[in-house]
Amino acid sequence: DTAVSQTPKYLVTQMGNDKSIKCEQNLGHDTMYWYKQDSKKFLKIMFSYNNKELIINETVPNRFSPKSPDKAHLNLHINSLELGDSAVYFCASSHVRGGGYTFGSGTRLTVV
Partner 1 sequence: AQSVTQLGSHVSVSEGALVLLRCNYSSSVPPYLFWYVQYPNQGLQLLLKYTTGATLVKGINGFEAEFKKSETSFHLTKPSAHMSDAAEYFCAVSRGGRDDKIIFGKGTRLHILP
Number of H helices, E strands in the chain: 0, 11
As measured in angstroms, the least distance from the Cβ of 80 to partner 1 is 26
> What is Dmax (Cα atoms) for the chain?
39
Given CA atoms 29, 31, 36, 41 in this order, what sign does their dihedral have? negative
> Of 14 and 42, which has the nearer Cβ to partner 1?
42
33 binds partner 1 (CB under 8 A): yes
> Of 40 and 62, which has the nearer Cβ to partner 1?
40
Build a one-symbol-per-residue string for 75-104: x at contacts with partner 1 by CB under 8 A, - elsewhere: ---------------x-x-x--xxxxxxxx
Residues of this chain that bind partner 1 (CB under 8 A): 4, 31, 33, 40-45, 48, 50, 55-56, 90, 92, 94, 97-106
